[in-house]
Amino acid sequence: MRRIGLLLVTVLLVAGCSSSEQLEASKAFCRAADRYDSHLERELEQGKVDLERQIELVAELARTAPPDIEDDAALFFDSLERVEDDPSIRDDPAVREAVDDVNRYANQACGVYDSGGGF
Could you tell me which of 65, 72, 114, 113 has the C-alpha nearest to residue 95? 72
The answer to whether residues 5 and 54 touch, using CB atoms and an 8 Å cutoff, is: yes
Please indicate, yes or no, if residue 95 is contained in any of the structural domains.
yes
Q: What is the pTM of this model?
A: 0.75
The pLDDT, as a whole number, for residue 63 is 97
Please indicate, yes or no, if residue 37 is contained in any of the structural domains.
yes
The answer to whether residues 61 and 13 touch, using CB atoms and an 8 Å cutoff, is: no
The answer to whether residues 103 and 113 touch, using CB atoms and an 8 Å cutoff, is: yes
Could you tell me which of 84, 113, 111, 110 has the C-alpha nearest to residue 15? 113
pLDDT category of residue 18 using cuts at 50, 70 and 90: very low
Please indicate, yes or no, if residue 19 is contained in any of the structural domains.
no
Q: How many domains does the chain have?
A: 1
Please indicate, yes or no, if residue 97 is contained in any of the structural domains.
yes
Range of the domain at 52: 2-14+28-112
Please indicate, yes or no, if residue 108 is contained in any of the structural domains.
yes
